[in-house]
């Protein structure tokens, strides 16, 4: 009987640690599956990796993306109208993970609940996925996911925000496996002229709450912004800017943007040390 080996899984935490060993922050890139179509999103995600992304976030399209700004909402709408489903997301995970990248799924909770929590966890492992980022799920209400992720050895990334109390930071940090997602500002995703000025303080507070790795997202779109965040965070998360690049210039534009951002995260730590 011939057995097919399981896909090699690269944990996002290991990718962040590998970047840290190089003296830099990690670059985390997001794109929704199914934009412009499923095959196109695979090509674009691989382009992010080729351009320098250490971790890929693949968005599971959902009809009510409360935390997403207009760029991502429009891309998700395109994906849903094109018939993208949860199974397509798992297939995309498998194809992107085959490139050697760490792959997380970014998803609202309802689609996972409907699919079956343990079933999704098992299928994500089989596809080579690292874990989930769940923006609308808090640890207090995540019992089934905590159990499934423990059983299948998956990472779980919860979000904290500038408004999070110290007690909330401690409980969220304790529940995370992999790293903590620090939202730089209150509000939805989007390209901004500057990153929220409370982000650095949030990273410091989250580390004080026990987090070994904190990555910052919401608002980063340029190499200079990535350098600024990389000076104090363990990872820089970029989403809307990649969606815009893909829509305007295809995978080639995605790879160029990833290269610019990758240069930024490499400059960030050095510029902070030079100024200290």
DSSP for 106-155, please give it.
Answer: E--HHHHHHH-HHHHHHHHHHHT--EEE-TT--GGG-HHHHHHHHHTT-E
Q: Which residues belong to the active site?
A: 57, 68
pLDDT for 197: 67
Is the pLDDT confidence value at 125 over 80? Answer: yes
Instruction: Give me 101's structure tokens.
Output: 């990248």
pLDDT of residue 275: 43
> 180 pairs with which residues across the strands?
214
Section 124-142 average pLDDT = 96
Average pLDDT, the chain: 91
Pairwise pLDDT comparison (250 vs 184), residue with the higher score: 250
Q: How far apart are CA 85 and CA 33, in angstroms?
A: 9
Q: Which of residues 195 and 246 earns the better pLDDT score?
A: 246
The two three-digit tokens of residue 220, written as one number: 């980063």
Percent residues over pLDDT 90 in the chain: 83
Backbone angles phi, psi at 160, to 5 degrees: -125, 160
pLDDT at 270: 63
Domain chopping of the chain, boundaries: 12-269
Return the number of other C-beta atoms located less than 10 Å from residue 143's C-beta. Answer: 10
> In this model, does residue 7 exceed pLDDT 60?
no
pLDDT at 271 > cutoff 60: no
pLDDT in tens, 202-214: 999 999 999 999 9
Q: Dump pLDDT digits (tens) for 51-108.
A: 999 999 999 999 887 777 889 999 999 999 999 999 999 999 999 999 999 999 999 9
pLDDT of residue 185: 62
pLDDT band at residue 262 under the 50/70/90 scheme? very high
Dihedral, CA of residue 204, residue 67, residue 114 and residue 120, to nearest 10: -40
Q: At the top level of CATH, which class does the domain 12-269 belong to?
A: alpha beta
Predicted confidence (pLDDT) per residue in 151-197, tens digit: 999 999 999 999 999 999 999 999 999 999 999 764 444 444 445 56
Query: For residues 188 and 162, what is the distance between their CA atoms, to the nearest angstrom?
Result: 14
Q: How would residue 134 be classed by pLDDT, with cut points 50, 70 and 90? A: very high
Distance of alpha carbon 179 from alpha carbon 246, whole angstroms: 27
Q: How confident is the model at residue 143 (pLDDT cuts 50, 70, 90)?
A: very high
Q: Is the pLDDT of residue 2 over 50?
A: no
What is the rounded average pLDDT of the residues 216-225?
A: 91
Cis geometry, peptide bond prior to residue 55 (ω within 30 degrees of 0):
no
């Amino acid at each position: 009987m011939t057995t097919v080996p399981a896909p090699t899984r690269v944990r996002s935490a290991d990718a962040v640690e590998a970047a840290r060993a190089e003296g830099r922050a990690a670059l985390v890139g997001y794109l929704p599956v199914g934009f412009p179509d499923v095959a196109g999103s695979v090509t674009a995600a691989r382009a992010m990796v080729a351009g320098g992304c250490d971790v890929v976030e693949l968005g599971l399209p959902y009809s009510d993306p409360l935390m997403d700004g207009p760029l991502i909402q429009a891309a998700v709408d395109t994906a849903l109208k094109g018939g993208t489903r949860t199974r397509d997301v798992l297939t995309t995970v498998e194809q992107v993970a085959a490139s050697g990248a760490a792959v997380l799924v970014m998803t609202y909770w309802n689609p996972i609940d409907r699919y079956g929590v343990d079933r999704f966890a098992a299928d994500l492992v089989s596809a080579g996925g690292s874990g989930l980022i769940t923006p609308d799920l808090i640890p207090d209400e995540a019992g089934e996911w905590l159990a499934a992720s423990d059983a299948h050895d998956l990472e779980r990334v919860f979000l904290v925000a500038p408004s999070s109390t110290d007690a909330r930071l401690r409980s969220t940090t304790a529940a995370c496996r992999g790293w903590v997602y620090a939202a730089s500002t209150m509000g939805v995703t989007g390209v901004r002229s500057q990153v929220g000025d409370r982000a650095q303080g949030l990273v410091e507070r989250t580390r004080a709450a026990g987090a070994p790795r904190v990555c910052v997202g919401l608002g980063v779109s340029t190499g200079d912004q990535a350098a600024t965040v990389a000076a104090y965070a363990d990872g820089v998360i970029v989403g809307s800017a990649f969606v815009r690049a893909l829509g305007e210039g295809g995978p080639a534009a995605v790879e160029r943007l990833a290269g610019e951002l990758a240069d930024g995260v490499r400059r960030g730590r050095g510029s902070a040390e030079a100024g200290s």
